[in-house]
Structure formats: C-alpha cells, structure tokens
Amino acid sequence: MATIYRKMYPIPMPQNAEIIIRRGERLARWTSGKGQIRIAPVVDDKHVQFVSDCWYVRYRDADGGMRRESTGCRDKQAAEKVLANILAGVDKVKAGVMSREEMTASDELNTPIDRHVKQYLAQLAIKTIRGRKVSPKHVGHVREQLDRVIRECRFRRLRDITRQALQRWMNKLASQPRDADDPQSEPLAARTINMHRAAIVAFCGWCVSDGRLPSNPLAGLPKAEESEPARQRRPLSEDEIARLLKAARERPLLDALTVRRGKNKGKPLAKVGDEQRRALERAGRERALVYKFMMLTGLRRNEAASLTVGALCLDDNNSYVKIEGRHAKSGKGATLPLRGDLSDDLRKHVAGMAAGGTDSALPPDCRSMARVSPDTPLFDIDWRNLLRTFNLDIAAAGIAKCDAQGRTVDVHCLRHTFATLLARNGVMPATAQKLMRHSDIRLTMNVYTHLDLADTASAVAALPAF
C-alpha cells in the first residue's frame, strides 16, 4: 500500500546537546551548524533519533516492485500530492496509456535540476571525443555556463526549461550592458551568448538520450547572430616569411649580445662565450625550422608539439610525417608529404640530435635517425610560450601584429599561410582540402585561403586576348 513517511534513524549525540524532559519523554535539544534549533528523542546516552526534514513515499510500481523515493517536500500535503501523481502514472502504465520510459521521464521532470546537472558533468568528465578524454578545463567552463543559465532563467526542475524562457534570456543579454553599473559598457558578445546556449542545449540533449526528458525543449532554438568572427587572421607574404625566418634564427644570439643598460644600451656588444653562442645559434635554427615546418605542412601548434622523431620518414624519394589521430584535432590520423628542402633541414636537425646537440653533427642521412629514440620529441622548444616568442620574432622582423583591415598575425596564421600558398600556386581546391585535413571544402576556401587584389588581377591578366 502506498504511504508517505519521514525517515527516522539514529545519529551520534551532538556535543552541544541539552537533555530536556517533555511529557515524560527524554529529548535532546541542540543548535545545528546553520544556527537552527533541533529537537530529537534520545535513544541512549550516545545516540538520538533523527527525523528527516523531507517526506518520502513508499509505493509499488507497475511491475509490482516496492519503490522508496524522496518527494523533496517538507510539507505533508505537498508530499501527498506528489504521491498521488506517482500513483496516477503507475495506473496509466498498467492500463497501457503510458510507456515505462514516459513514466520515468515524467518522474525525472520533478527532480531538482541540480541533481541532473551534477550527473551530467560527472559523465562528461569521463567522456571521450574522437579518442580523447574531455579536459577538466572544458568541464569547468560547461559547469559555469550551466550555472549561469539555470540561475538567471530560474530553472528549478527540468519541466521549467522552455524555449521561450531561454530566448528571452538571450535577447536580454544581447541588449543590456555587460556591466549594469556602467551604462556605457557594451552588451555581451554574441559568441559568448551562443556558448551558453550550446551548453544548455547539449545538457537537454543528454537528458533526452538518458530518458530524463521525452524531447528536447530547446530544439530549433536560433543562435545569436554573430556579425564577424572574434579574430580575423591574415597570411604572411613571401617577403614577410623570409624576414620572419631570419629574425627567428638571429634573435636568440642578438638578444644575448644586446647591452641592456649604460652608455652602450641597445648595442650588440655584450660578451657571450663560445659554448653559449653555439647553443643560442642552435636554438635560433630550431625555432626557424619550427616556423618553416608549420608553414609547409599546415600543422597546428598542438599537433606539431606532439610529433616525435618516429613520426618522420626522410627517404630521398618519399619523405613524409605522420600525425596520430589522438593528437589531431579531427581525431583522424594523416600522412603529410614533406618538400625536399624541408626534408633536408629535418635530416640535419635529427643528425644534430643524434650528435647530442653539438655542431659536429653526424652525416645528415637516415642512419642518424637510428641513433635517436623514436619517442624523442622532434622539437625541443617552449610550446606553451610560443605565442609570446612569435610576437617578439615578428616585431624583430618588422611585421605588424595588426594591419589596416584589423587582421592579426599569430602562430595559427602559419596554417593560413600554408593554405594561401597552395591556392596562389594553382593547387586544386580538393587537394588543398585534403592537405588541410578539412571535412568541408568551404572551410578551406572561405576561411583559410586569402587571395588579395594582386592574385585576382594576375588571374584576369591570364585570360586570352580577343
């Protein structure tokens, strides 16, 4: 038979408890950590009988099994209404009006949303996407975004999530200033609003796949319109490439030679030992090789950082580098060809590694690779601070960080440079897409390929004369 009750169980006697007698019964009275006065019957000298604040229900489900659940209600009448709704759902399942899945989803609709979010984040933390585990940083961002949406939209339970409520919230963020105390501040960026939207939509999708919601209430919710991408990059010209590689080779030694104070401040007159000089020259050559390697393969920074010596094949007639799927952004492995001069540079680089980093390197052939462990990182540079180093290098090369059109130059623009060089040299779009490892050719041609007026003018000039 269905009933409601409060859980009763013994707990240790609180240290600050006071024993009182009321109607002939021994009771313990104490103040909880939240400042509330608690009273409970005394079981013995060390325990009191604690009664739960919330009401629980006991009933038999459609299969005849006994179920016990918390109503989350402190009021007895409200708990009785919850029990009545549960029993009505059980009767519908028995009569075939409702399926068990729909019954489960109906029960989950009344569960506090915080419980669902906690379970969703726990599953997200152990989830793998394209063979890689979701990073704790991403889980933290999702937690913050869900907390904000739920708090500001006042979602208490799953049934409270509606498309209209979230649309009003998105419109409000897009119109009001970012800082309420400063009317001159700008509204929240559309990209940020869409990130919050994506977090709550993905959460609802998980609830549907897990049987917690019958359907996604946010399906078809439009995104906030993003006028332009947050950052526009540009490729490097051939002259800028040459200057960048020269600056990367020379800057480590030049910085060490530059006097920082005194009458000779700014002049390359500092004393540098022979061993230190050779180390700085090797560091400059390696950094320039990294830039050249990324511009001639199109690899991203994290992909290039993951490479080992074993990923290279430097045969004279067939040189290539292999990127593993677990390190690629798409999750798919790939084999990329290497240009002849780049292969020669890599042979010399590996030969120097085989010689222990000394300039008296072994002959730059494939035999030197056998002397280096295949698990050895291909490049020994500070990848975490590569952007800072790159900015110093382009400044030394006289390359502007931002041009007149607002386009910037950063490490990822080396990949844009690779795509643009392919287009300028007549590479077919399908081939460029394969080399860039894009699933959509529009991404290759519209985002990464930058052709200016000089490129289009040369194409027009190549048309036949009439």
Give pLDDT tens digits for 252-308.
Answer: 999 888 888 888 888 888 888 989 999 999 999 999 999 999 999 999 999 999 999
Separation of alpha carbons 381 and 377, rounded Å: 10
Q: How far apart, in Å, are the Cα atoms of 319 and each of 123, 332, 336, 428?
A: 42, 20, 9, 21
User: 315 CB contacts (<8 Å, ≥6 apart)?
Assistant: 366
Q: Is the pLDDT score of 109 beyond 60?
A: yes
Separation of alpha carbons 365 and 424, rounded Å: 32
Task: Supply the pLDDT for residue 227.
Answer: 66
Question: How many other C-beta atoms can be found within 10 angstroms of the C-beta atom of residue 138?
Answer: 12
Taking alpha carbons only, the member of 429, 432, 425, 427 closest to residue 455 is: 425
Separation of alpha carbons 287 and 294, rounded Å: 11
pTM above 0.85, yes or no: no
Token pair 């897990």 is found at 210
Residue type, 309: V
Q: Does domain 238-397 have CATH number 3.90.320?
A: no
Q: Which whole number is the average pLDDT over 221-239? A: 82
Token pair 């016990």 is found at 68
Relative to beta strand 3-5, strand 56-60 is antiparallel
Name which residue leads in pLDDT, 259 or 366: 259
Pinpoint the residues of the chain covered by CATH 3.90.15. 238-397
Q: Is the pLDDT score of 427 beyond 50?
A: yes
Give pLDDT tens digits for 117-135.
Answer: 999 999 998 887 766 778 8
Q: Is residue 148 within a helix (H) or strand (E), and if so which, with residue range?
A: helix 136-153
- Which range has the worst mean pLDDT, 123-132, 153-162, 266-275, 327-336? 123-132
Separation of alpha carbons 427 and 424, rounded Å: 8
Q: Quick check: 72 and 112 in contact, CB under 8 A?
A: yes
Token pair 């009448």 is found at 77
Task: Supply the pLDDT for residue 362.
Answer: 42
Token pair, residue 214, equals 């019958």
